[in-house]
């Protein structure tokens, strides 16, 4: 028979079991933390009606969308978790309690050109807090405390959550009479990290901005100091504009509240250059960087938006949210060897029976499982060496050998596969668990 | 602005948060059990190359597949988790340890006509054990013990795992000279539950089977008694056929081993009528029924197959597996009100601050979270009544009110939202946890 070459579409992450275990641990840490802060789970479909999913979209995004027809139905795969959330909240408005706190961890699809670190099928891990008509600004400070908790849980200490407020930038542009070109200017400013001050000045000249306005912008993005100093300088910059002043006031409040939420001073800072390219955000914006690996970009971003679901409902639904691009993050952490795994295997114990009658080995496995220990029995008829090799390859931390002798003496040998240490232990679940969880 | 009606594609399950919590609990129970038996996690893509995914498929399945092109690439959404597993094992053969035990819980896609209990996007929860060249029959008995564990964990007691062996049927048909028509006859026999003996006889006449052969088939499927009696009767039925005899021998061994795995006598039985329509299975087959709700069909099915990945590799990879169709199962259990939820909310505690300065309430929340309690603070500026209503609607079991007075006295009131009981407790994490986990 002709064989088809078993292969996976380029740009899709498909992991070996040992990597998958690591990936799932990170995913689980994120989910546990989201739950610990009281977010509700959602699981909206991957497949949506194009008319609904693309109610807003256009331009760049639309080209990347996996869109097709089945029968007469025009369908698309979701490209983020925000649009499905909008649809969901508009659809189920009457059945939700506000502020509506939801998390969703799921795959999204983008028909990108495959390249390193770019994926066509990727996990996003989102939380959002949606208000009905209004949402108190205190929520903008809760999210950084969640980011901090997750990153600490994942073993990171040296990271910075950068905070800014879009109103400051918008107000500044209005004040400069550049409201129409705000998007263009933002896009240029956003590149300061990558291309530096001079290149930005040049690009601003290219789009025809007068010299004195460019100087004002540069003066603005060059504001330095710690978070409090920056806010102070913003206050005395002399920008007479209502939106600008509201933005500075909000930023001041968010910083105050972030401290209230107990976020360490070294884990956040005001950064006036971050803008989050999108049109979407209207207040607080966040980006998060591993300080030693700024080149991998923001690993957790988001912000405040005025109105979640304007394409589906007249209800005003302001919100604030963050998203972690888990697939890309995992790829990068793995490349940099930065994943601190707690657990390398699923099974905690492999039982190796050395006897034909499996009654006792199975009974032992059942009792260990009942006590919460993940236990596997090696059931295939192989040589002992092969059985140990299996435990070794799967990095199962403990092996229990059980044969006639062991059953008669009611005592087994537990081997610690990492140290090679062996210990005789009575066949009693409590005794065995003590040994197995000793690590 | 014109609004798009926020709606979800027909035939897709999209749950409210309270239902999603229940759904996730069932999913988590299944996953925990799979892990407890030492299965490794996989997460293959939903999007695959059509050439690879459809290497085998044809007929009915192919019509249901979501297939489309993006650029010049012919893509399909997976319709089960077995074909992706075949691809995966063939592709990663050299990097896997055999027997390869994997679980996968994920969504699959079928372009069905939407109707009650039929879904276009549905979760499957699969485990398989794959051998390299061979796989000892003992594994066929491990799977029923996993099914039993899951169903008991989900709160079910009255269920039956039905066991049969395809070789018995295949051997019988060979013996009757009906090997060519085995599929047709199987399809008819498979309907015995639904249409009864007479209708089956008629259908067999319709396909032109001689009277005396029909009688032999009926005599066969009418074999009664407990599992041991059935096996005995099979042994003395006088079918002189090697495959038949091998099947009976295997069935006998599987039943013996199922007992070894400690499965209760009332949770399994030999059922000679189950065949699993598919061409795919070659030995043991399973179906599982809730005895009081047989009408919902098998809730967990599977079996033994000779060769997992013949379309991708020359390696012989026999295996045995089961699958739970979780989306459909959830729908049915929900309809029948059979879901026994342990937990109705995500948050265990809602903290309601009655004070402007949130320092103490936030500190309390942080400390509870650090102690593992899922804790939410109501941060929006609403009236107390609205805050309690929120806890009530979300079924959060405990509310802690904290104001000036409480902070001064270092004592808060914990309200049990189910009983209405209130208790004063010191602001000490240990004291509070004792109260919160008292339920």
Contact present, B140 and B320 (Cβ < 8 Å): yes
> Of chain B residues 73-132, which have a CB less than 8 A from chain A?
73, 75, 77, 86-88, 90-92, 95-97, 99, 101-102, 107, 109, 111, 120-121, 131
Say what the pLDDT of residue A333 is.
94
Confirm or reject contact between A366 and chain B (CB < 8 A): yes
Per-residue model confidence (pLDDT) at position B58: 54
E strand intervals along A50-191: 67-70, 73-77, 100-109, 121-130, 159-165
Instruction: Point out the least confidently predicted range of A191-200, A286-295, B91-100, B406-415.
Output: A191-200
Q: Which of residues 6-65 of B touch A (CB under 8 A)?
A: 6-9, 12, 14-17, 20-21, 23-24, 35-49, 51-52, 55
Strands (E), B110-230: 121-130, 159-165
User: For the segment A38-67, what is each residue's pLDDT rounded down to a tens digit?
Assistant: 999 999 999 999 999 998 865 456 789 999
The model carries a pTM of 0.94
Residue bearing tokens 């139905």: A73
What is the mean pLDDT of the segment spanning B93-116?
A: 94
In angstroms, the separation between the Cα of residue B96 and the nearest Cα of chain A is: 8
Residue A277 confidence (pLDDT): 65
Cβ of A121 within 8 Å of Cβ of B47? The answer is yes
- In this structure, of A141-155, B30-44, B266-280, the range with the lowest mean pLDDT score is B266-280
Share of chain A above pLDDT 70, in %: 98
Question: Mean pLDDT throughout A356-375?
Answer: 94
With bands split at pLDDT 50, 70 and 90, how would you rate the model's confidence at B278? low
What per-residue confidence (pLDDT) applies to B118?
A: 87
Using the beta-carbon criterion (under 8 Å), do B313 and A3 form an inter-chain contact?
Answer: yes
**Minimal C-alpha gap between B22 and chain A (Å):** 10
Mean pLDDT of chain B: 93
**pLDDT (mean) for A390-412:** 95
Residue A195 pLDDT class (50, 70, 90 cuts): confident
Question: For residue B114, what pLDDT is reported?
Answer: 78
Cα–Cα distance, B396 to B416 (Å, whole number): 9
pLDDT, residue A238, reads: 85
pLDDT digits (tens, 9 = 90+) for A63-96: 899 999 999 999 999 999 999 999 999 999 999 9
User: Cα separation of B97 and B306, whole Å?
Assistant: 19
Non-local (6+) Cβ contacts of A386 within 8 A are: none
A129-175 pLDDT, tens digit per residue, is 999 999 999 999 999 999 999 999 999 999 999 999 999 988 998 99
Q: Which of A329, A378, A325, A321 is nearest to A349 (CA)?
A: A378
What mean pLDDT is reported for chain A? Answer: 93
Structure tokens at B100: 């390869």
Give exposure, A185-221, as e/b (b: 16+ Cβ within 10 Å).
bbebbeebeeeeeeebbebbeeeebeeebbebbeebe
Return the minimum-mean-pLDDT range out of A26-30, A116-120, B85-89, B283-287: A116-120
Q: What is the pLDDT confidence band of residue A191, given thresholds at 50, 70 and 90? A: confident
The per-residue pLDDT for B68 is 95
Q: Tell me: the pLDDT tens digits for B204-242?
A: 999 888 988 898 888 898 899 999 999 999 999 989 999
Long-range CB contact pairs, A328-331, < 8 A, 24+: A328/A117, A328/A118, A328/A119, A328/A122, A329/A26, A329/A299, A330/A13, A330/A22, A330/A23, A330/A26, A331/A13, A331/A117, A331/A119
Question: Would the pLDDT of B60 be above 60?
Answer: no
> Which pLDDT score is estimated for B183?
80
For chain A, domain boundaries = 12-130, 135-306, 349-436
Q: Do A376 and B3 touch (CB under 8 A)?
A: no
| Count of beta carbons in the 10 Å neighbourhood of residue B407 | 18
| Phi then psi dihedrals of residue B288, to 5 deg | -130, 130
What proportion of chain A, given as a percentage, has pLDDT over 90?
Answer: 78
pLDDT tens-digit series, residues A378-387:
999 899 999 9
Average pLDDT over residues B158-171: 95
One CATH from 3.30.210.10, 3.30.930.10, 1.10.4190.10, 3.40.640.10 for A12-130: 3.30.930.10
Across the interface, do A311 and B66 touch by the CB < 8 Å criterion?
A: no
- The confidence score (pLDDT) of residue A131 equals 97
Distance CA A22, CA A29 (A): 11
**Element holding B230 (H helix, E strand):** helix B227-235
The predicted pLDDT at position B286 comes to: 96
CA B345 from centroid of its chain's CA atoms: 23
Whether the link from the prior residue into A99 is cis, omega within 30° of 0, is: yes
pLDDT at site B36: 97
Q: How open is the CA angle B208-B209-B215, to the nearest 5 degrees?
A: 145
Distance from CA of A21 to the nearest CA of B (A): 7
In CATH terms, the superfamily for domain A135-306 is Bira Bifunctional Protein; Domain 2 (3.30.930.10)
Q: Using a CB–CB cutoff of 8 Å, tell me whether A203 touches chain B.
A: no
Residue A369 has a pLDDT of: 95
Give the CATH number of domain A349-436: 3.40.50.800
More confident: A208 or B126: B126
Tell me the per-residue pLDDT of A303-341, one tens digit each, with 9 for 90 and over. Answer: 999 999 999 999 999 999 999 999 999 999 999 999 987
Average pLDDT over residues B348-365: 94
Contacts across the A-B interface (CB distance below 8 Å): 252
Q: Do B399 and B368 contact (CB within 8 A), yes or no?
A: no
Label the pairing between strands A100-109 and A40-41. Answer: parallel
Residues shown for chain B: 439
- CATH code linked to domain B153-299: 3.30.930.10
- Cβ pair B47:A77 closer than 8 A: yes
Nearest chain A CA: its distance from B117 CA (Å)? 16
Residues 256-275 of B with CB under 8 A from A: 257, 260-262
Residue B292: DSSP 8-state: G
CATH fold of the domain at B12-130+307-344: BirA Bifunctional Protein; domain 2 (3.30.930)
pLDDT category at A197 given cuts 50, 70, 90 is confident
The lowest-confidence range among A208-212, B153-157, B181-185 is B181-185
pLDDT bracket for residue B61 (50, 70, 90): low
Facing residue for A262 by CB, picked from B95, B362, B394 = B362
Between CA B352 and CA B356 the distance in angstroms is: 12
- Give pLDDT, residue B397: 95
Q: Give yes or no on whether A12-130 and A135-306 have one common fold.
A: yes
Does B136 contact A380 at a Cβ distance shorter than 8 Å? yes
The DSSP code sequence of A166-230 is HHHHHHHHHHTT-GGGHHHHHHHHTTHHHHHHHHHHHHHHHTT--HHHHHHHHHHHT--SSHHHH
Chain A interface includes B158 (CB < 8 A): no
B237 touches chain A (CB under 8 A): no
């Amino acid at each position: 028979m002709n064989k088809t070459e078993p292969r996976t579409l380029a740009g899709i992450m498909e992991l070996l079991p040992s990597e998958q275990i690591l990936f799932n641990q990170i995913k689980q840490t994120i989910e546990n933390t989201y739950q610990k802060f009281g977010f509700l789970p959602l699981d909206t479909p991957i497949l949506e009606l194009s008319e609904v999913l693309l109610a807003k979209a256009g331009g760049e995004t639309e080209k990347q969308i996996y869109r097709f027809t089945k029968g007469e139905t025009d369908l698309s795969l979701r490209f983020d978790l925000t649009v499905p959330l909008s649809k969901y909240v508009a659809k189920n408005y009457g059945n939700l309690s506000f502020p509506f706190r939801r998390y969703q961890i799921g795959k999204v699809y983008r028909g990108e050109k495959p390249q390193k670190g770019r994926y066509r099928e990727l996990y996003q891990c989102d939380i959002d807090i949606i208000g009905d008509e209004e949402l108190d600004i205190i929520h903008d400070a809760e999210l950084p405390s969640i980011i901090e908790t997750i990153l600490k849980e994942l073993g990171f200490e040296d990271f910075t959550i950068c905070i800014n407020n879009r109103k400051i930038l918008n107000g500044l542009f209005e004040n400069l009479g550049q409201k129409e070109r705000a998007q263009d200017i933002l896009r240029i400013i956003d590149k300061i990290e990558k291309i530096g001050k001079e290149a930005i000045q040049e690009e601003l000249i290219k789009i025809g901005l007068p010299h004195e306005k460019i100087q004002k912008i540069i003066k603005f993005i060059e504001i330095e100091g710690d978070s409090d100093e920056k806010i102070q300088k913003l206050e005395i910059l002399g920008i007479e504009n209502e939106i600008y002043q509201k933005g500075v006031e909000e930023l001041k409040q968010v910083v105050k509240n972030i401290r209230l939420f107990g976020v360490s001073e070294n884990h956040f800072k005001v950064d006036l250059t971050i803008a989050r390219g999108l049109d979407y955000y209207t207040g607080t914006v966040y980006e998060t960087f591993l300080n030693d690996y700024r080149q991998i970009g923001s690993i957790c971003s988001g912000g405040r938006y005025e109105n979640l679901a304007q394409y589906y409902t007249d209800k005003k639904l302001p919100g604030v949210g963050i998203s972690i691009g888990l697939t890309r993050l995992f790829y990068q952490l793995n490349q940099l060897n930065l994943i601190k795994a707690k657990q390398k295997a699923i099974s905690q114990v492999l039982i190796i029976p050395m006897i034909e009658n499996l009654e006792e080995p199975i009974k032992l496995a059942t009792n260990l499982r009942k006590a919460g220990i993940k236990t596997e029995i090696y059931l295939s008829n192989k040589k002992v060496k092969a059985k140990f090799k299996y435990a070794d390859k799967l990095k199962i931390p403990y092996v229990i050998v059980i044969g006639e002798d062991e059953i008669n003496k009611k005592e087994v040998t537990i081997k610690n596969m990492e140290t090679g240490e062996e210990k005789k232990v009575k066949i009693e679940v409590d005794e065995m668990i003590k040994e197995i969880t000793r690590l």
